[in-house]
Amino acid sequence: MPDLLIELLSEEIPARIQGFAAQELRKNMLSFLAEQGLSEIAATAFSTPRRLTLFMTGIPEKSDDFIEERKGPRVDAPQKALDGFLRSVDLELGQLNVKRDGNVDKYFASIKTPGRISTQIVAEALEKTIRTFPWPKSMRWGVSSLRWVRPLKGILCIFIKDAEHQVIDLQIDGIRSGSCTTGHRFMAPDYFTVKDFEDYKLKLRNAFVILDNRERSEIILNDANNLAFANGLDLINDDALLEEVSGLVEWPVTLLGKVDNEFLDLPSEVLRASMKEHQKFFSLKNPKTEKIERFITIANIESADNGATILEGNQKVLYARLSDAKFFWENDLRLIQKDGLDTWLEKLKNVTFHNKLGSQADKVLRISALTKKLVGPLACDGEAAVNGASICKSDLISEMVYEFPELQGVMGRYYAISSGYSDSVAKVCEEHYGPKGPNDPVPTALTSVAVALADKLDTLLGFWIVDEKPTSSKDPFALRRAALGVIRIILENDLELDLVELLYDHLEDLSQYGNKPDAVSELMAFIRDRFRIYLRDKNIRYDVVDACLEVGNVGNLNLIAKRINALTNLLKSDEAEDFLQGFKRANNILAKAEQKDGVEYSYGADGKYMEVDPEKELFKALTKQHSIVKQAVSDEDFPKAILAISKLRKPIDNFFEFVQVNSDNDIVKRNRLNLLGQIRTTCSLVADLSKIEGQLR
Amino acid sequence: MNVVEPKSFQEIVLRLQNYWSDNGCAILQPYDMEVGAGTFHPATTLRSLGENNWAAAYVQPSRRPSDGRYGENPNRLQHYYQFQVIMKPSPENFQDLYLGSLEAIGLSMTIHDIRFVEDDWESPTLGAWGLGWEVWCDGMEVSQFTYFQQVGGHDCKPVSGELTYGLERLAMYILGINHVMEMPFNPPDAPVPLKYGDIFLQTEQEYARWNFDAANTDILFKNFEEAEKECERILAHSELDPKTGKKIIMVHPAYDLCIKASHFFNLLDARGVISVTERQAYISRVRNLAKKCADCFVQTPAGGQKN
């Protein structure tokens, strides 16, 4: 079956959306073609700074005939109605069918739309794709009314069948499709004709364009590693930078440059940030000195002097940038050594945290207050934690952080050390921002943990109080990330904390911004939602999570996680299914009876009304295991509690095998129901097992 | 193309003027007011509005009071030059024209690495935005390249293409100079060779002192208020001039006052007397003036109004 090759040539597309755009081109074309009856097409999309390319294979030459059946009037309808229907479907009476519809006979018309030639469908689909392309931000240019990410320059669209290619003709705002494209902007600007995909790729390569973004990334990474290795250096990997840089070049050329000696003593984070953000350089570290001594820049051209001018220019720019950075660094240090961090703390009063939640100075006070409350439960060094809290935002005043916001925290650590704070206090400045992303490490030093939690909980509760909660599409203050941070810090450090209590305590410190006691429970619901998602991402069964989420102290996430673990393990055992069926049977009988009788059977059974052994045995087992479970839960030994519960399996099985709950004697019957109620009571010390669903493994 | 490398700052400016003159632009002179960037020149702000075609290029001295460094920083100045090109509608080959201008000032495309790196331009004070790039030469930003989408709150139809060259930085790179004050302004072999510093070092010091410490903020606040008031007053006049009996909307005088207000704001900002929250309010007041001027400009012949 024929192939299709499309290239949309434009002025330079922003690197960060090239991948998205290529996928959208693929997705939209496939969907528009499918709408018109062309399906089961294989498609691959590519992007370079100047082109989006789509290659499709297995396109039918025409779409299938399409038959639509349309319902007409009843056979006994007036002639007028029938005539109207015949006109509307453009058929004669003899061409209609009669079919039963409900309990009347009706006329039916089969309308056949013949399949269409694919080239025609492709032309329409491509025009629609271009005109409705979902760019996050698009523009107009010249006198054109078409919108594209940057001016669209050319459309290559060829249909390839049996080694013959045919241009699919379309014209959009004066841009006419063809079989031509151009090579590298500087190294091969001439236009050339292509006849199929292989020809296209090859000619592009000869014209200094590597079509595939992944291939460009590989070339860059490979060359960069080779250059690093040859010079005894380590390349600092940076996937985001690699992705961006490969979107800035069609023909990557790797060049190695040197960081001037006078900058080698700058903090390595500063060097990296400056080189990455402003220049998009990769950093190379000398493994012997642990210092960043060189950089790699990726040019888009094989220049006549083998990159000498390009490298010289880049080094010059870097020199100017690093001179700035060095100036900020030395200036910041000078100020601190003169006045200490205190003047910076004073200045935080002028930095807004959020217009409804006061200044950064206000925030620091709140973080400190909450940190104090955490010192006890965490059993951490209180003085260090509170000191850390009081200076954790001070670097926001520094010139360096003003210039490189992403260095907040890191610079705080350097500045704290240079103004005489201990390492553990200084570390708080950096670590309290952690975890930064979902896969970044969480702080582990307890002083940092305390401030990290205080900062995030204050942020969350604050925004809940002023009603700036995230919506499904918008989360401008990264509150989801903050909540996930809280969850991970607690679980990964195995912390026993009652969040509900902490948050209620903290309401007072936020009272000047609003009085909203409901904020705590609403926020806890949000945190529990994030907790659910966090556990789901760890492949934990949602019903197990639900069974444990509302049991016991709901503010203690760690305890909930332990229940979940224990229950997950129980469900892996062979006996789990039987046990659960027993539990569910008990629970169902109970639920029905309780609904019918309008009472709750939770008084416990009484031994003297028991008639047969199995119920006596169950009663005995329940009494024994209940106290074990209770003790285990209060010791937080959930495996032990679960083990105790699972020992009920046999007595429960026996009970159901030999005992009828329903008895003519009401007292005996109620007593049995209360016995079943004890199963529920005992089990629900650990989890709400009724939420566990059907098939267990 | 084989181009002789330029020898001085002014030669680069002259070559840019000649190049854009050859490519169809009217070469205008700088606007005679203090502006923060070449975009503020009415030849760009106002002329990008309406349907009339337009093509102009000019040097614009620009003032950014808070960027002053007493002439000590190698490339930061409170007064510097921009070269501005504005073409409406943006020509089909605008990128190629731009690259040609780089060749004209001595940057050969065979040894330099020119890159178009995403940069969305926005001027909150002008109520304007556009999409385009910052153009990098060997890792250094040498120009802003923008397709205007909106100015003064009006959609640009047709779209103007705008180029802004930061002249000092570009020239320093081409001439291989490390400190702006060391850059030859006229040819080094001239009878009176002048460096950039011979002309501007003293003024940078004087203005930096005035901008940061000495400017009378009471007067500046008052000036801002008065410029704002006068701008609105002028625009509120009836279109009909009673003396000539003609329709004369006084957009340009009003826009001058908008420019003044903007500059007074910049001075106040440099003096550090505008708080973060007030800052937004001042910017929006200037934007409000710019929008009103834009609204009126499109009612005039230059703004595309027939008869």
Taking contacts as CB-CB distances below 8 angstroms, the residues of chain A near B133 are: 12
Pair (B175, B250) in one structural domain: no
Mutation pick from A9, A10, A12 vs chain B, by most beta carbons of B within 10 Å, is: A12
Compute the nearest-CA separation of A308 from chain B (Å): 8
**Considering A206, A226, A252, which residue would you say is the last residue of a domain?**
A206
The rounded distance, in Å, linking the Cα atoms of B86 and B69 is 30
Closest by CA position to A658, among listed A611, A602, A625: A611
The ipTM assigned to this model is: 0.94
* Min Cα–Cα distance to chain A from B214, Å: 23
Structural domain for A310, as ranges:
213-338
Residue from B118, B135, B155, B160 whose CB has the most chain A CBs within 10 Å, to mutate = B118
pLDDT at position A196, please?
95
State which amino acid sits at residue B122. Answer: E
Q: Does B44 touch chain A (CB under 8 A)?
A: no
pLDDT value at A695 more than 70: no
Show Cβ contacts of residue A351 under 8 Å, excluding neighbours closer than 6 positions. A359, A360, A361, A396, A397, B276
What percentage of chain A exceeds 90 in pLDDT? 60
Dihedral over Cα of A322, A324, A328, A331: its sign: positive
Shared domain check, B221 and B155: no
Tell me whether B113 touches chain A (CB under 8 Å): yes
Query: Based on the domain organization, do B201 and B224 belong to the same domain?
Result: no
User: Rounded to the nearest 10 degrees, how much is the dihedral formed by the CA atoms of A138, A142, A145, A149?
Assistant: -20
| Angle, alpha carbons A87-A88-A89 (nearest 5°) | 95
Q: What is the CATH number of the domain that holds A379?
A: 1.10.3210
The predicted pLDDT at position A697 comes to 37
CA distance A201 to B216: 66
B14 is a domain residue:
yes
Tell me how many domains chain A contains.
5
Phi then psi for residue A238, to 5 deg, are -155, 95
> Are A313 and B140 inside 8 Å of each other by CB?
yes
Region label for B2, one of left (φ > 0), alpha (ψ between -120 and 50) or beta (otherwise): beta
A99: which strand partners?
Answer: A106
Instruction: Please indicate, yes or no, if residue B1 is contained in any of the structural domains.
Output: no
Residue B159 C-alpha from the chain's centroid = 18
Q: Which residues of chain B does A150 touch, with a Cβ-Cβ cutoff of 8 Å?
A: 131-132, 147
Partners of B90 on chain A (C-beta within 8 Å) are: 141-142, 151
3-state class of A159 per DSSP?
strand
Please check whether residues A482 and A357 belong to one and the same domain: yes
CA A671/CA A603 separation, integer angstroms: 9
Inform me whether the C-beta atom of residue A357 falls under 8 Å from chain B C-beta atoms: no
3-class DSSP assignment, residue A515: coil
Calculate ∠ Cα A642-A645-A646, nearest 5°: 85
Cα distances (angstroms) measured from residue B224 to each of A23, A298, B218, B274, B294: 51, 48, 10, 13, 20
Residues A126 and A106 in one domain: no
Same domain for B39 and B159, yes or no, is yes
Same domain assignment for residues B201 and B242: no
**Which sign does the torsion angle of CA A306, A309, A312, A314 carry?**
negative
Mutation target to probe the A interface, by most A beta carbons within 10 A, among B75, B86, B102, B138 is: B138
Residues B166, B281, single domain; the answer is: no
Do both A414 and A519 map to the same domain?
Answer: yes
The answer to whether position B306 is within a domain reads no
pLDDT per residue, tens digit, chain B (307 aa), is 456 889 999 999 999 999 999 999 999 999 999 999 999 999 999 999 999 999 999 999 999 998 898 999 888 899 999 999 999 999 999 999 999 999 999 999 999 999 999 999 999 999 999 999 999 999 999 999 999 999 999 999 999 999 999 999 999 999 999 899 999 999 999 999 999 999 999 999 999 999 988 999 999 999 999 999 999 999 999 999 999 999 999 999 999 999 999 999 999 988 888 876 678 889 999 999 999 999 999 999 999 988 6
Does B191 contact chain A (CB < 8 Å)? no
The SS3 assignment for A279 reads helix
Task: Give the DSSP H or E segment for A423.
Answer: helix A423-431
- B94/chain A closest Cα distance in angstroms: 10
| Spatial separation of the C-alpha atoms in residues B84 and B106, rounded to whole Å | 18
Using the Cβ of B74 and the Cβ atoms of chain A, whether some distance falls under 8 Å is answered with yes
Q: Indicate if A48 and A163 belong to the same structural domain.
A: yes
Residue B61 contacts residue B90 (beta carbons within 8 Å): no
One domain, residues B116 and B225: no
* Neighbouring residues of A641: CB distance < 8 A, sequence distance ≥ 6: A566, A628, A629, A632, A633, A685, A686
Facing residue for B139 by CB, picked from A151, A297, A303: A297
**CB-closest option in A142, A149, A249 to B90:** A142
Q: Minimal Cα–Cα distance from A329 to chain B, Å?
A: 16
Spatial contact of B36 and B267, defined as CB atoms under 8 Å apart: no
Last residue of some domain: B162, B182, B209? B209
B138–A309 C-beta distance less than 8 A: yes
Domain boundary among B162, B191, B209: B209
Measured in whole angstroms, the distance separating CA A380 from the mean position of its chain's CA atoms is: 33
Q: Do B138 and A140 touch (CB under 8 A)?
A: no
Give the Cα separation of A160 and A59 in Å (integer). 10
Q: Are residues A462 and A351 in the same domain?
A: yes
The three-class DSSP label of residue A219 is: helix
Distance between CA A658 and CA A672 in Å, rounded? 13
Q: In Å, how far is B28's CA from the nearest CA of chain A?
A: 22
Both B192 and B292 in one domain: the answer is no
Residues A274 and A142 occupy one common structural domain: no
Instruction: Determine the distance from the C-alpha atom of residue B130 to the mean position of all C-alpha atoms in its chain, rounded to a whole number.
Output: 15
H and E: helices and strands count for chain B: 8, 9
Q: Are A215 and A178 in contact (CB under 8 A)?
A: no
A58 lies in the same domain as A81: no
Instruction: Annotate A524-562 with b (16+ C-beta within 10 A) or e (fewer).
Output: bebbbebbebbbeeeebbebbbbbbbebbebbbbbbbbb
Which residue, B136, B103, B102, is CA-closest to B119?
B136
Question: How far off is chain B from A351, nearest CA to CA, in Å?
Answer: 8
Q: CA nearest B158 in A: which residue?
A: A143
Is A651 in contact with A617 (CB distance < 8 Å)?
Answer: yes
State residue A568's pLDDT score: 87
Token pair belonging to A489: 């810090």
Dihedral over Cα of B64, B67, B72, B73: its sign: negative
Residues A296 and A409 in one domain: no
Distance (Å) of CA A479 to CA A458, A509, A530, A543: 11, 19, 10, 26
For B175-207, give one letter per residue: b (16+ CB within 10 A) or e. Answer: bebeebbebbbbeeeeeeebbbbeebbeebeeb
The answer to whether A303 contacts B112, with C-beta atoms less than 8 Å apart, is yes
Mean pLDDT of A510-536: 92
CB contact under 8 A, B110 and A297: no
Helical ranges in A598-694 per DSSP H: 613-634, 638-646, 649-658, 666-683
- Do A35 and A162 share a domain, yes or no? yes
B201 and B286 part of one domain: no
Cα A74 to Cα A410: distance, rounded to the nearest angstrom: 80
Tell me: do B184 and B270 sit in the same domain: no
Q: Locate the chain B residue with the closest alpha carbon to A276.
A: B139
A69: which 2 tokens? 């059946």
In whole angstroms, what is the distance from residue A50 CA to residue A11 CA? Answer: 6
A362 located within any domain: yes
Q: Is A186 on the interface with B (CB under 8 A)?
A: yes
Residues of A in contact with B91 (CB under 8 A): 142
Helix, coil or strand: residue B95:
helix
Residue A56 lies in a domain: yes
| Share above pLDDT 70 across residues of chain A, in percent, rounded to a whole number | 99
Chain B residue closest in CA terms to A353: B276
Q: Do B115 and A323 touch (CB under 8 A)?
A: no
The per-residue pLDDT for A588 is 86
- Does residue A552 lie within any of the structural domains? no
Q: Within a domain: residue B72?
A: yes
Predicted pLDDT of residue B2: 54
Q: Is B23 within the bounds of a domain? A: yes
Rounded Cα distance between A521 and A503, Å, is 9
Q: Would you call B173 and A312 a contact, using CB atoms and an 8 Å cutoff?
A: no
In a domain, B51, yes or no: yes
pTM attached to this predicted model: 0.79
End-to-end CA distance of chain B: 47
Tell me, yes or no, whether B175 and B223 share the same domain. no
From the list A261, A250, A258, A237, the residue with the least C-alpha distance to A298 is A250
The tens digit of pLDDT for each residue in A546-589 reads 888 877 777 899 989 988 988 888 888 777 777 788 788 888 88
pLDDT band for A696, please (50, 70, 90 cuts). Answer: very low
Asked if A297 and A416 sit in the same domain, the reply is no
Token duo for residue B230: 């006068």
Cα–Cα separations (whole angstroms), residue A673 to A590, A595, A599, A629, A659: 6, 13, 11, 21, 12
Residue with tokens 């003593």: A265
B/e letters for A78-94, b = 16+ CB within 10 Å, e = fewer, are eeeebeebbeebebeee
Question: Which residues from chain A sit within 8 angstroms of residue B138, using beta carbons?
Answer: 309-314, 316-317
Whether chain B has a CB inside 8 Å of the CB on A140: the answer is yes
Per the CB < 8 Å rule, is A139 touching B159?
yes
Residue A363 lies in a domain: yes
A299 — contact with chain B (CB < 8 Å)?
Answer: yes
User: Which residues span the domain enclosing B245?
Assistant: 216-297
Inter-chain touch A310–B140, beta carbons under 8 Å: no
Residue A553 lies in a domain: no
Task: Quote the tokens at residue A470.
Answer: 């995230």
| Alpha-carbon span A28 to A316, nearest angstrom | 45
Residue A86 DSSP SS3: helix
Q: Is B131 on the interface with A (CB under 8 A)?
A: yes
Domain boundary among A532, A556, A577: A532
Q: For position B234, which CATH number holds? A: 1.20.58.180
d(CA A682, CA B116): 69
Strand duo B54-63 + B26-27: pairing:
parallel
Q: What are phi and psi of A463, to 5 degrees?
A: -70, -30
Residue of B99, B103, B113 to mutate, testing the A interface (most A Cβ within 10 Å of its Cβ): B113
In a domain, B94, yes or no: yes
User: With an 8 Å Cβ cutoff, is B121 touching chain A?
Assistant: no
Chain A hits for B75, CB-CB cut-off 8 Å, are: 320
* CB atoms B112 and A316 under 8 Å: no
A99-113, A617-631, B283-297: which is most confident: B283-297
Asked if A252 and A48 touch (Cβ cutoff 8 Å), the reply is: no
pLDDT at residue B145, rounded to an integer: 98
Asked if B147's CB is within 8 angstroms of A151's CB, the reply is yes
From the list B110, B131, B159, which residue is nearest A304 (CB)? B110
Q: How many domains does one find in chain B? A: 2
CATH code of residue A681: 1.10.730.10
**Is B305 inside any structural domain?**
no
Give the three-state DSSP class for A143: coil
* Mean pLDDT over each residue of chain A, to the nearest integer: 91
pLDDT confidence of residue B3: 67
Q: Does a structural domain hold residue A546?
A: no
Nearest-by-CA chain B residue for A143? B158
Least CB–CB distance from A304: residue in B74, B111, B132: B111
Distance CA A273, CA A228 (A): 19
Asked if residue A433 and residue A406 are part of one domain, the reply reads yes
Residue corresponding to tokens 């996928």 = A23
Give DSSP secondary structure letters for A320-387.
Answer: HHHHHHHHHHHHHHHHHHHH-THHHHHHGGGSEEETTTEEHHHHHHHHHHHHHHHHHHHT--HHHHHH
Asked whether residue A560 is assigned to any structural domain, the reply reads no
The string of pLDDT tens digits covering residues A147-183 is 999 999 999 999 999 889 999 999 999 999 999 999 9
Same domain? For A192 and A47 the reply is yes
The answer to whether B114 contacts A186, with C-beta atoms less than 8 Å apart, is yes
Distance from CA of A137 to the nearest CA of B (A): 9
Question: CA torsion angle for B40, B46, B48, B54 (degrees, to 10)?
Answer: -100
**Same domain (yes/no): B99, B229:** no
A548 assigned to some structural domain: no
Last residue of a domain, one of B209, B235, B252: B209
